[in-house]
Amino acid sequence: PTIAVLNGPNLNLLGTREPELYGAATLSDIQARCEQVAAGLDVQVELFQSNHEGALVDEIQRRRGDAGIVLNAGAYTHTSVAIRDALAAVQVPFVEVHVSNVFAREDFRHHSYLSDLAAGVIVGCGVDGYEFALRRLAALTRV
Ligand code: DQA
């Protein structure tokens, strides 16, 4: 089974971007960690990052049939009906991840267009959230 790990805008800057909020790990560190964890879970991970809303919609559409999606949509979480609709269309179980605790930040980060469709939401656990989400989706594929 394949689990996609999709990242939205500015997450290519992880490691250098506001490290007090997002920590020191880079997206390639996350990739390495996810691949390591996936190997032990007998799943395949495929990482994708884009700063463009439409590119994320295209990628979600391509994921139809996958076992799961780990999704950090970045700021599009709080704005994008298009990403919500793509997730609803493909019917792939997804876990929403935020590295920072969005509820401890500005009010505009408290609302997500995605959460009510998600199989789970992981917030404020740093980049460990990706691993937790991957483990959860792998467990769901086994039930
Ligand atoms: C984020 C939280 C969002 O509010 C923000 O726009 C991001 C990153 C997180 O991982 O904490 O880009 O999704």
pLDDT digits (tens, 9 = 90+) for 69-83: 999 999 999 999 999
Could you give the CA distance from residue 87 to residue 4 in angstroms, rounded to a whole number? 13
* pTM as predicted: 0.97
Is 22 one of the catalytic residues?
Answer: yes
Q: How confident is the model at residue 29 (pLDDT cuts 50, 70, 90)?
A: very high
CB 99 less than 6 A from any atom of ligand 1 = yes
Ligand 1 pocket: which of 77, 105, 127 to mutate (most atoms within 8 A of CB): 77
Residue that the structure tokens 């997500």 belong to: 112
**Which atom of ligand 1 is nearest the CA belonging to 73?**
13
Chain centroid offset of residue 108 CA? 19
Torsion of CA 120, 122, 128, 131, to 10 degrees: 10
- Domain residue limits at 26: 2-142
ipTM value > 0.95: yes
Annotate 74-90 with b (16+ C-beta within 10 A) or e (fewer). bebbbebeebbebbeeb
Is 111 one of the catalytic residues?
Answer: no
Sign of the CA dihedral with 105 first, then 29, 19, and 57 last: negative
The total number of structural domains in the chain stands at: 1
Ligand 1 centroid–CA 99 distance in Å is: 7
Query: What is the CATH classification number for the domain harbouring 49?
Result: 3.40.50.9100
